[in-house]
Amino acid sequence: MITHRPEDLRSCDRLIIPGVGAFGKAMENLRREGMDEAIRTERERRELPVLGICLGMQLLAEAGEEGGNFLGLGLIAGRVARLQRSAAKERVPHMGWNEIEIAQRHPLLKGLETGSNFYFVHSYHFCAAHESDVVAFTPYCGRFASVVAQGNVMGVQFHPEKSQRTGFQLLRNFLAL
Amino acid sequence: MLKIRVMPTLLYKDVGLVKGSKFDSTRRVGSVLQSVKVYNLREVDELVFLDIAATPAGRRPDFQLIDDIADECFMPLTVGGGVRTLADVRQLLAVGADKVALNTSAVENPALVREAAEAFGTQCVVVSIDARRHPSGIYEVFTHCGTRATGLRPADYAREVEARGAGEILVTSIDRDGTMQGYDTELVRDVSKAVTIPVIASGGAGTYEHMEQVLRTTEAAAVAAASMFHFTERTPREAKLHLRAAGFAVRL
3-state secondary structure chain B: CCCCEEEEEEEEECCEEEEEECCCEEEEEECHHHHHHHHHHCCCCCEEEEECCCCCCCCCCCHHHHHHHHHCCCCCEEEECCCCCHHHHHHHHHHCCCEEEECHHHHHCCHHHHHHHHHHCHHHEEEEEEEEECCCCCEEEEECCCCEECCCCHHHHHHHHHHHCCCEEEEEECCCCCCCCCCCHHHHHHHHHHCCCCEEEECCCCCHHHHHHHHHHCCCCEEEECHHHHHCCCCHHHHHHHHHHCCCCCCC
Contact across the interface for A121 and B123, Cβ inside 8 Å? yes
Nearest chain A residue to B252, by CA: A117
- Give the pLDDT confidence score for residue B74 in this predicted structure: 85
* Residue pLDDT, tens place only, A117-164: 999 999 999 999 999 999 999 999 999 999 999 999 999 999 999 999
**Mean pLDDT across the stretch A62-69?**
89
- Most confidently modeled range among B18-27, B29-38, B210-219: B210-219
- Which percentage of chain A shows pLDDT scores above 90? 80
Instruction: Determine contact: B197 vs chain A, CB below 8 A.
Output: yes
**Mean pLDDT across the stretch B186-206?**
97
Contact across the interface for B121 and A140, Cβ inside 8 Å? no
Confidence category of residue B84, pLDDT binned at 50, 70, 90: very high
For B:213-232, CB contacts with A below 8 A are 219, 221-222
Q: For A50-86, give one letter per residue: b (16+ CB within 10 A) or e.
A: bbbbbbbbbbbbeebebeeebebbebbebbbbebeee
**Mean pLDDT across the stretch B128-133?**
98
Q: Is the pLDDT of residue B34 over 90?
A: no
Instruction: Determine contact: A21 vs chain B, CB below 8 A.
Output: yes
Confidence category of residue A20, pLDDT binned at 50, 70, 90: confident
- Which percentage of chain B shows pLDDT scores above 90? 78
- Which percentage of chain B shows pLDDT scores above 70? 96
- Give the pLDDT confidence score for residue B169 in this predicted structure: 98
Instruction: Determine contact: A23 vs chain B, CB below 8 A.
Output: no
- Give the pLDDT confidence score for residue B15 in this predicted structure: 66
ipTM of the complex: 0.90
Instruction: Determine contact: B96 vs chain A, CB below 8 A.
Output: no
Query: Does the pTM of the predicted model rise above 0.90?
Result: yes
Asked if the bond preceding A93 is cis, omega within 30° of 0, the reply is: yes
Q: Note the maximum CA span of chain A.
A: 49
Q: Is the pLDDT of residue B14 over 90?
A: no
- Give contacts of B124 with chain A, Cβ < 8 Å: 20, 121
